Structure 1
Amino acid sequence: MRALLLFTLFFLPALASGQSLFAEGLAPLEGRSLQQARREAVEDALWHASAQLGVTIHSRSEAAAGEVIRDEIRLETGAEISRYEVMEEWEEEGLYHVQIRVDEARALCGEKIRIGAVQFPLVRPAQQRADGLHGLERGVPDALLHRLSLLQRVEPHRTRQAFWYEPGATGLPRPRDAGVRRRVQAIAREMEVDYLLAGAVVDVGHENLPRWGGWLQRHRRRAEVEIYLFKGDTGELVLQRRVSRPVEGEVLFDARVVFDSHRFRDSDYGRGFDWVLDRLAWHVATHLSCLAGADRRP
């Protein structure tokens, strides 16, 4: 069996100042409350409105023996609606209808999305000093920005060393804190970016495992990172994800090794860290709704 996967993208410009667009949505009334039907109708209308600003068509065909045995088409919008109003709503033939007017919206992928990053502090700094691995604070966000630039229309800005939160008792930030929001806005404004990527290296510690044959020492080391994606203009937290993976094998280094160097990437720990970064980048790209085939999770 052979599968053919095609993606076609169409983009329209964002709404110009003073312009509006209208869309209608509907939802069945049977088996749900009036409030639930209205909410689903509004969601349907918002989908149709955002489709006017950009649609990704995902087409998948499967063929066997020269005949198409499966053909699927799925639409995915790539727009952000920030202000709308329900203009009219009514019930008709078992359906709840709404008509909305959208006053502020923009296509997310019509232009490059500018993303900057700040250094990712280590929650447990002593873990990095325990062996020869260096450069995690800057290397991790730089590696994420590089992956995003390959996945979608991203204009990455190099990682900046900037103070954006005060570590609490756990060492982790409080990303919804008002002070964090103000600092994120200031940093994003200085960098001239639409989104700011921040995060923390939560755990890179190792443990000794039972010896093989009673004499060969084995080790297991975690690669755990948490990210926070903020909107640059408001400082609002729009995405928070944590990914971790335990790695066995070559995870300790007896000489000075820089994160994301050839020596690091060729190790078992480097490959495990790549797995973590790939999934974090996937989460960011999927949230921004610009990744063709975002349903194909790595």
Structure 2
Amino acid sequence: MIKASVLSCLLLSNSYAAEIEGLSAIGVGGIPMAKQEAIQDALMQASLWNGAKVEASSLVEEGRVSELQRVVPVQELSRYKLLREWREGSFYHVLIESDPAPEATQSKVPIASAVTATPAESMAAAHALSPPAPPRYPQCPQADFAYRKKLLLAHFQLQNPADANDIVHFQDGLQQELSRLLAASDHYLPLRTVNEAAFNLQPGFYDPILQPERVRELARRYGTQFVVGGVVRDIGPYGERYSFAWGNDIKNGERRISPSIPMLQLSSSLPSIAPLGLKVKPSSRRFEADLYVFDGASGALLKQQRFTDSVTGEVMQGSDYVFGSRRFYDTDFGQMVEQQLGKIVAGVDDALACQAFAARISRVEKNRVFLDAGSTARLAKGDKLQLFRVKSTNQVVAAVNGDSSMSLGMPEELVSAVTITQVQPLFAIAVLENGSITPEVGDYVRFSMKESR
């Protein structure tokens, strides 16, 4: 096997405003979706016009040559003015005037229509002049998350269900909030299971029983590259603090410790004074959760990490404090949980930043293959990826101790290279460079500059 070195070429030009035309086919989403896609197309062209970096490499294995290629803008433009829009047949056109941000404030941000800088943007520009903080994930070719990776968020199991009696929709709310944060990071395309965990947590055992075959089955069924699961070990309250209780103002986990003051009737025309008493409620609460990140193709465990914290203050929740709601996050316990969820998302980033993007082949037509990833994953026409095939699904590489739950994965072989010729939101069409190869449904393509170094 011969691995060629990576070629990285930088094409630069001056950043300035320009009129750029973009277009998109009018599909099932109608004109509104076509308009947004046309604007995205124009912004991408404007970004490339103001400078682009071409990353390419080649790999020779057993006489077969495959190439990787990706064109990345040096600066992703997000500021624009829409000058004109029109329809021609089945295509929708837009004409925009791009407005590059100052070089000091370049960043990858979602599409926006504002052209003039706000005071907040001016302050951000001033902060950008200071040295950037080091990235929290390891340095590697994929650390910029050029492609969005499909990820399945499995059910997080609660070790002590009674701990969450005062929190409405704790488990499904936790899963939903993690999914929202993972999607907001713009690194992933997350999906959620319905009450399906990635492993078993048996009573009387602390460590979960890992099941690589279950992980592989979940990844196949949901069509994802990775599977994330977890165990919430402890969210129990502790300690005591005292306050007055007015009426029936007693939440789960709180109790009265003094008799109520008898109700007083001031007048037949006035309402009764509600009973006043003293109640005891927990002063603090813990949060302890274990995160597990799995590779969907092999079922192998990529990362296990624990997140712990505690907080003092308003820690018990009422019946109308739904997990993930703003009302929940406004409590002291909710604020701590919100911080921990952010750290869990950062932990997923750490585990997957250096894992190559991959997509499965879902359909084959002669020398064309249909991939289960498209523009939402940031695939683009002209991208070149490598096509791999698992040699045998029955040849799992076992661990030294023979434990099936600790299998190392499955061997694979490089089959060909593919070039993306058409991109839709949820799928892409690619052609094979090696016409003598017959791809199969279930084979997968991968982009990894690290593979070819």
Cα separation, partners in 2 of 1:209 and 1:186, compared to 1, 3 Å: same
Q: CA RMSD in A?
A: 4.1
Q: Deviations over 1:138-195 (max 9, x none)?
A: 2222212221222233111134321433323235413xx3xx1110110111000001
- For the residue of structure 1 that corresponds to 2:195, the secondary structure is coil
Could you tell me which residue of structure 2 aligns to residue 160 of structure 1?
A: 194
Please give the alpha-carbon distance, in whole angstroms, between the structure 2 residues aligned to 1:115 and 1:155: 6
Q: Deviations over 1:246-274 (max 9, x none)?
A: 11111112424321122211111110100
- Contact 1:53-1:78 at 8 Å conserved across structures: no
Cα separation, partners in 2 of 1:163 and 1:222, compared to 1, 3 Å: same
**Residue ranges of structure 2 left out of the alignment (5+ in a row):** 1-50, 75-102, 106-125, 244-277, 355-453
- Contact 2:155-2:198 at 8 Å conserved across structures: no
Among candidates 54, 71, 77, match of residue 140 of structure 2: 77
- Contact 2:157-2:197 at 8 Å conserved across structures: no
Could you tell me which residue of structure 2 aligns to residue 196 of structure 1?
A: 227
1:113 partner letter:
K
TM-score computed with the length of structure 2 as normaliser: 0.40
Please give the alpha-carbon distance, in whole angstroms, between the structure 2 residues aligned to 1:268 and 1:73: 28
- For the residue of structure 2 that corresponds to 1:118, the secondary structure is strand
Among candidates 165, 180, 186, match of residue 146 of structure 1: 180
Name which of structure 1's ranges 203-212 and 69-78 shifts more when overlaid on structure 2.
Answer: 69-78
2:240 partner letter:
L
- Cα deviation, residue 282, structure 1: 0.7
Among candidates 329, 339, 347, match of residue 275 of structure 1: 339
- Cα deviation, residue 209, structure 1: 3.0
Cα separation, partners in 2 of 1:269 and 1:13, compared to 1, 3 Å: farther
Please give the alpha-carbon distance, in whole angstroms, between the structure 2 residues aligned to 1:9 and 1:206: 54
Identity of matched residues, %: 24
Could you tell me which residue of structure 2 aligns to residue 86 of structure 1?
A: none
Could you tell me which residue of structure 2 aligns to residue 173 of structure 1?
A: 208
- For the residue of structure 1 that corresponds to 2:304, the secondary structure is strand
Please give the alpha-carbon distance, in whole angstroms, between the structure 1 residues aligned to 2:191 and 2:57: 23
- Aligned positions, number: 215
Q: Deviations over 1:20-59 (max 9, x none)?
A: 68xxxxxxxxxxxxxxxxxxxxxxxxxxxx9x9899x9x9
Bigger Rg, which one: 2
1:173 partner letter:
P
Alignment of 1:16-95 (within 5 A): 18-19=64-65, 76-79=139-142
Cα separation, partners in 2 of 1:111 and 1:14, compared to 1, 3 Å: farther
Q: Which runs of 4+ in 1 moved over 6 A?
A: 13-17, 52-55, 69-75
- Contact 1:204-1:224 at 8 Å conserved across structures: yes
- Contact 2:198-2:227 at 8 Å conserved across structures: no
- For the residue of structure 2 that corresponds to 1:277, the secondary structure is helix
Matched, 1:237 2:301: yes
Could you tell me which residue of structure 2 aligns to residue 115 of structure 1?
A: 151
Matched, 1:287 2:322: no
**Structure with more strand by fraction:** 1
- Cα deviation, residue 111, structure 1: 2.5
Please give the alpha-carbon distance, in whole angstroms, between the structure 2 residues aligned to 1:156 and 1:279: 17
Could you tell me which residue of structure 1 aligns to residue 258 of structure 2?
A: none
Alignment of 1:208-227 (within 5 A): 208-209=239-240, 217=280, 218-227=282-291
Please give the alpha-carbon distance, in whole angstroms, between the structure 2 residues aligned to 1:172 and 1:220: 26
**Residue ranges of structure 1 left out of the alignment (5+ in a row):** 1-7, 22-49, 80-106, 291-298
Could you tell me which residue of structure 1 aligns to residue 236 of structure 2?
A: 205
**Structure with more helix by fraction:** 1
- Contact 1:11-1:109 at 8 Å conserved across structures: no
